[in-house]
Amino acid sequence: MKMGAREFGPFPTAGLRVGIAALFLYPFVVMRGEHAQLRQHWKITFAVGILNSAIPFACFSYALLTISTGLSAILNASVPMFGALIAWLWLKDRPTPLRTLGLAIGFLGVAMLAWNKVALQTGSGPSPVWAIVACLMACMCYGLAASIAKRTMTGIPSLVSATGSMIGASLGLLPLTVWFWPSTAPGLQAWLALVVLGVLCSGLAYTLYFRLIARAGPARALTVTFAIPVFAVLYGVLLLGETISAWMVFCAAIIIVGTSLSSGLLTFKR
């Protein structure tokens, strides 16, 4: 996303990502004879695509113009925490005292991470606070979309769910993609980055993700975000020359502990 957003900008990066994913997945839907189910469930899959792909991808693409991939990935690890908070506020799934403590710890870690980035800012460049807000908005959308998908998309084949969501996200982002299309032609590296994003990180990954939601539930499916910071930091260091500070690692540990408690993954036996 960072490599693409540098040359395409946030909205075209997100729009091309989901568009490429939709073009990649649709032939498989036809070959498997699931086109009728795609037509039948287009409303809910398209709506989930807006919430689970269009908005988050645009938010993260915008954020990565200012902050590192490692920082964005650490913030992304708070997705299960947002899922637990949404279940509490919307579904009236009242958390236990331990899970409430986890919510408080997790948000404390986010606040510490955000405050440090803002306090350390130098120069007249754009403030990272809006990038952090964009990441957290994306996380909130992920948490909400996971609960909606579990409640409304059970029984829909994962390939249909993934394809429908990518088509819906593509249509939702199309006007912004056209309006904000860069005046200077992006280079080959940026195009290749978006092809990888579309085929691997969206097409294949979301097919597996929706299958995981159906089989294991949204809470367990969202825990895959715990692994994202490890890979994002590694790729950022190897491919983009980024660095990670001890403070980022410390805050990441706090966020993960809080998220584990708030989502019920970490419990203590009496």
- The reported pTM is 0.82
φ/ψ (deg, to 5) at 125: -70, 175
pLDDT value of position 212: 77
- H helices present in 64-187, as ranges: 69-76, 79-89, 97-119, 128-152, 158-179
DSSP 94: P
Average pLDDT over residues 171-198: 95
Q: Which residue has the tokens 């950022």?
A: 236
Q: Which residue has the higher pLDDT, 135 or 220?
A: 135
Q: How do residues 123-159 score in pLDDT, each as one tens digit?
A: 444 578 888 899 989 998 988 887 788 778 878 888 8
pLDDT value of position 269: 59
Average pLDDT over residues 45-62: 94
Maximum Cα–Cα distance across the chain? 62
Is 68 in a helix, a strand, or coil?
coil
CA distance 174 to 109: 36
CA angle 153, 159, 163 (to 5 degrees): 85
CA distance 60 to 13: 10
Average pLDDT over residues 12-32: 94
pLDDT at 244 over 70: yes
Q: Could you give the percent of the chain with pLDDT greater than 70?
A: 85
When pLDDT is cut at 50, 70 and 90, the band that residue 268 belongs to is low
